Amino acid sequence: GTLAGVPLALKDVFTTAGIPTTAGSKILEGWRPPYDAALVERLRAADIVILGKTNCDEFAMGSSTENSAYGPTHNPWDETRIPGGSGGGSSAALAAHFAPLAIGTDTGGSIRQPAAVTGTVGVKPTYGGVSRYGLIACASSLDQGGPCARNVLDAALLHEVIAGHDPRDATSIDQAVPAVVEAARRREIGGMRIGVVREFAGEGYEPGVLASVRAAIDVLTELGADVVEVSCPSFTYALPAYYLILPSEVSSNLARFDAMRFGLRVGDDGTHSAEEVMAMTRGAGFGPEVKRRIILGTYALSSGYFDAYYGQAQKVRTLIARDFAAAFDQVDVLVSPTTPTTAFPLGERADDPLAMYLADLCTIPANLAGNAAMSLPVGLSDGLPVGLQVMAPVLADDRIYRVAGALEQALDDRRGHALLEKAPTL
């Protein structure tokens, strides 16, 4: 294939036969899966060289890669700052020039937010576009694997390799993969209609982030796109809805880590019952954020609260999908900042879950609705990268590549170099 021999860094949430797979958790320490994930099979079939597994927040829960049982990952632009999360290991590997390609997964922004804060490109394909077979589940209705790269065309080439139908994943879409490579090569957006999401600006957004995003949107206009403002009112409720739906699925999915079948086992000395071994193992094996989400989810699903919380959150999800549908009646793609701030310092939000969750404010709607979305680097704010998010309808992944390919070239031409070339050397 086109990418034969190219090295790739793989987020450690995909099973790799005979190679340890931890999902960033102590509970899976030493576990060697007996099989390859579908995505890994596709990488191997394309003769891509898997360099190794990258660090991530435990079970992909987090926005800073500080929740890994194996220590935090640092941002190559400024090693005192976070590389984003949960896929910070993959974004850092790209920015540090350890590998030209990487794989991430995106449940609420875990590909796009790390890409934004490291000056790299990250794509969340349409939900069902890339097989989840062999992906260690966080929230099954939201998780999606996707390509990470240093430029738009590389991401498209990788996207083409990993996408496609897989009968082993019940949510896999049985349709042709959108023509992403062709779209990335077009470099032309004349006449395309682009909507700027009104709700993603204002309080909580750093002025430098908004300035870089505005400048990029002006370039889209200069390139011949028709740019309009679009309102998606329900996006305001995306974060609270997500933090009911996601923990509910987490509490269910993570029940399988029970000390009986694989991974860590604590207290199995003949003096403890099976229930005690389970409880001790889960107590020792899961980190605080994972425990927090299991507890939240178990509560949201409990009798008497299910309708009030989980049921209501699913209604909000429907409203968000309707807002997207209404917007895409008017425009071809939507754009917004990828995340409200640049990379924040390591430790700054570690003890403040809500502040951490706000990093995914702009990325969550696309997960709830299943749309395709990308982050691409558009500038710097105080020397740190800023990402622009481009969102497209389900199975219109090619549109994000068309817009991003044209914008990336225009910005690189104006700058005289790619953004990453000016990253501080490690």
- Tens-digit pLDDT profile for the chain (426 aa)? 899 999 999 999 999 999 999 999 999 999 999 999 999 999 999 999 999 999 999 999 999 999 999 999 999 999 999 999 999 999 999 999 999 999 999 999 999 999 999 999 999 999 999 999 999 999 999 999 999 999 999 999 999 999 999 999 999 999 999 999 999 999 999 999 999 999 999 999 999 999 999 999 999 999 999 999 999 999 999 999 999 999 999 999 999 999 998 899 999 999 999 999 999 999 999 999 999 999 999 999 999 999 999 999 999 999 999 999 999 999 999 999 999 999 999 999 999 999 999 999 999 999 999 999 999 999 999 999 999 999 999 999 999 999 999 999 999 999 999 999 988 876
Residue-range domains of the chain with CATH: 7-422 (3.90.1300.10)
Show the tokens assigned to 46.
């394309």
Question: Cα separation of 129 and 127, whole Å?
Answer: 5
H/E run at residue 117:
helix 112-118
- Beta-strand pair 372-381/384-392: antiparallel
The type of residue at 272 is: H
Residue ranges of alpha helices (H) inside 195-336 are 207-222, 238-253, 274-285, 288-301, 312-330
Catalytic residue among 63, 90, 91, 110: 110
Catalytic residue among 11, 26, 53, 124: 11
Catalytic residue among 63, 68, 86, 90: 86
Q: How many residues does the chain have?
A: 426
Under DSSP, the state recorded for 84 is -
Under DSSP, the state recorded for 307 is I
The burial class, CB within 10 Å (0-12 / 13-18 / 19+), for 103 is buried
Indicate if 141 belongs to the active site. no
Indicate if 172 belongs to the active site. no
What CA–CA distances, in Å, run from 13 to 68, 106, 366?
A: 12, 11, 21
DSSP line for 356-420: HHGGGTTTHHHHHHT-EEEEEEEEEETTEEEEEEEEE-TT-HHHHHHHHHHHHHHHHHHHTS-GG
Indicate if 110 belongs to the active site. yes
Question: Cα separation of 6 and 402, whole Å?
Answer: 24
* pTM for this entry: 0.98
